[in-house]
Amino acid sequence: MAVEGETAVKIASTFSWQDVCMTVQKGKKQEKQILSNISGSLSSGKVCALMGPSGAGKTSLLNVLAARIRTRGTTEVTGNITLDGQPITGSSLRKRIAYVMQQDILVPTQTVRESLWFSANLRLPKSYSMKDKKELVEKMLVDLGLVKCADTFIGDDMIRGVSGGEKKRTCVGIELIMKPKLIFLDEPTSGLDSYAAHNVILKLEELASKEGCNVLCTIHQPSSEVFHLFNKVMLLRSGKLFFFGGVSGLSEQLHSVNRGCPNEFNLADHVMFLLQTELEKELDSMQAKMIMETPEKAATPDVPHDKSVMTKSMEGATAGFLTQLMALTKREAQNIWRDKPGLIASIIIPVILNVFFAAIFYQVGDITLDNYDPRSHFGGMTQVAIGGMFGAAQPLLLKFPLDRGIFLREYATSTYGSAAYFLSKTMVELPQSFLNAVITWTAAYFLMGLRGQFMIYVLVFWVTGVAAASTAVLVGCLAANAEVATQAAPAVFVPQLLFAGFFITTEQIPAWLRWASYLCALKYGMNLNILNEFGPDATSSWPDVYTLNPATGIKDVPLKATVNAEFVVRNSIDPDHVWVYVGVLLAIIVVVRMLSIMALARRAAAFF
């Protein structure tokens, strides 16, 4: 299927690498040589297997050739790596390189078609119309044999989804949609049975020859059928090139050094066994002979299988910020909507918990009751605020660490920027937290018999929850992983409880520590709640109820004056500063979320 607007460009690209070396610094003076003088070349339409015993340097070489090694610090890489004579550096060349990781990092609630569409929509240049993109996705589904499962969820442990082989082919499709010139795959067949593995490599081979791209993949134990699909094989041993050439060439070479593969044996198994069982001395002498055979072949560019392969230039701007934001928001919302158990739990659990807690504080706000106690009244409000803070923070704390794999893969392939990614999560979070605020206060307000304005409680709870979630998000973006985020969370949230006026009033906190309460979002939320329930405006309409005067022993102090002094004055809350409290809460949200975007971008930049 020809995509409208394609430019007729014959692909005949050559990928070559000369004298690639990699060393890592171990301690102050020691160096470890990971790769030594590895050379070779591949040309359009060829699929090369990178093999060798464990620790031979396969992943290191793959990462070096794909420009995925950070050469700062202790790692040094030398050598020449070029694509059509150009060194592999710079973002435009990077975009022509696809890297399929060993783990299938996909969104479980997306279907196969949606996964490919997401990649096409955000990564293809704007010169591609929607129709072009859709045609490309459909073509990719056909080429990769994914039509039958196109509308099946990717799935995970909880959601029934596509098979392992189909997942792997989806990962390949996500990268191939960009029509990359180079495709690197780390163990694309690991965890697959031999038929599924054959299918993946066969599709890769077909696509490589059709699209004219160079494919290099590490592979552990290919079956004979799989092994013979490769056009080239590169064998490493202790960081050195043992063999590079065609599969039949390998067989000939082994015969020439008297280590031919018996007819009934698998050539790949045979050579791997040899590499791990032969004496070092023997291997050295074989290696010396075999390498002598390869450079000439490796240096000669191969002729593309299909000389009429067409492609369209991938240069030019890709999707803009708004398109990225919309696509990401849609995916995030779908993710929540399709995760039915999670969605139901996010509604049912707050209802049950809040009804239960409110039942404990039943009618604590009824000031006309004989057993009325202002501390219980305040306690009821306190528990809603504390529950709200943890309830809002908890789901957000692990959101970014748990989704980091997908973010890094997509960010690294320039699918979107960190700001669009971050804002998309916020767009979905806001209505969810508003719904949570309505649920919480509907349960709490009437059962506890509070007197402030219902809608103010909902709004304050919502904004304070978003502020708590912002802090959780920042912790999640800064933390190295989910475990670190979980460990760090109490250090951030417990002090908020201490500074919010629940256990100690602001005026009792030592002056040199009091400043910390000004950074505490919960404190501002609580100030607004206290004014809504106990502030002078709120209490002005209270019926006349009197409390005990300690000086006279007579109940002649108006209750409104008692609660005002106890909760408003002692917590240094100024009724004229309502909008200051609202403003500071909003400012905390904006500043903390901006810091989170920066932390996310920094983490993504450090990925390579």
Ligand X SMILES: Nc1ncnc2c1ncn2[C@@H]1O[C@H](COP(=O)(O)OP(=O)(O)OP(=O)(O)O)[C@@H](O)[C@H]1O
Our CB check for ligand X shows the closer of 18 and 75 to be: 75
Give the residue ranges of DSSP H helices in 361-453.
374-397, 399-402, 404-412, 418-448
Min dist CB 480 to ligand X, Å, is: 17
Our CB check for ligand X shows the closer of 74 and 285 to be: 74
Our CB check for ligand X shows the closer of 59 and 311 to be: 59
> Reduced to 3 states, what is the DSSP secondary structure of residue 169?
helix
Min dist CB 75 to ligand X, Å, is: 6
Our CB check for ligand X shows the closer of 29 and 160 to be: 29
Token pair belonging to 23: 């060393």
Min dist CB 329 to ligand X, Å, is: 38
Please tell me what DSSP assigns to residue 312.
Answer: -
Our CB check for ligand X shows the closer of 57 and 535 to be: 57
Min dist CB 56 to ligand X, Å, is: 4
Alpha-carbon span 47 to 169, nearest angstrom:
16
Token pair belonging to 599: 């932390």
Residue 583 to residues 485, 577, 589, Cα–Cα distance (Å): 28, 10, 10
Residue 73 to residues 23, 24, 77, 362, 487, Cα–Cα distance (Å): 11, 9, 11, 62, 29
Min dist CB 167 to ligand X, Å, is: 21
108 phi and psi angles, rounded to 5 deg: -60, -30
Question: Do 468 and 389 meet the contact criterion of CB atoms below 8 Å apart?
Answer: yes
Min dist CB 214 to ligand X, Å, is: 20
> Reduced to 3 states, what is the DSSP secondary structure of residue 125?
coil
Token pair belonging to 18: 């000369």
Min dist CB 95 to ligand X, Å, is: 25
Q: Is the sign of the CA dihedral 417, 422, 425, 427 positive or negative?
A: negative
Alpha-carbon span 170 to 116, nearest angstrom:
7
Our CB check for ligand X shows the closer of 30 and 263 to be: 30
Min dist CB 478 to ligand X, Å, is: 24
Alpha-carbon span 340 to 436, nearest angstrom:
17
Report the interface residues with ligand X, using CB under 6 A: 24, 32, 34, 52, 54-60, 75
Our CB check for ligand X shows the closer of 22 and 124 to be: 22
Our CB check for ligand X shows the closer of 278 and 366 to be: 278
Our CB check for ligand X shows the closer of 69 and 140 to be: 69
Our CB check for ligand X shows the closer of 60 and 354 to be: 60
- Residue 284, sorted as left (phi over 0), alpha (psi -120 to 50) or beta, turns out to be alpha
Alpha-carbon span 406 to 418, nearest angstrom:
12
Cβ neighbors of 145 (< 8 A, separation 6 or more) are 169, 199, 203
Residue 389 to residues 11, 67, 308, 487, 572, Cα–Cα distance (Å): 58, 44, 62, 17, 22
Our CB check for ligand X shows the closer of 190 and 224 to be: 190
- Supply the DSSP string of 28-59, one letter for each residue: TTEEEEEEEEEEEEEETT-EEEEE-STTSSHH
Min dist CB 188 to ligand X, Å, is: 14
Our CB check for ligand X shows the closer of 64 and 444 to be: 64
- Supply the DSSP string of 548-575, one letter for each residue: EETTTTEEEEEHHHHHIIIIIITTT--G
Min dist CB 27 to ligand X, Å, is: 11
Alpha-carbon span 174 to 168, nearest angstrom:
10
Min dist CB 234 to ligand X, Å, is: 12
Min dist CB 53 to ligand X, Å, is: 7
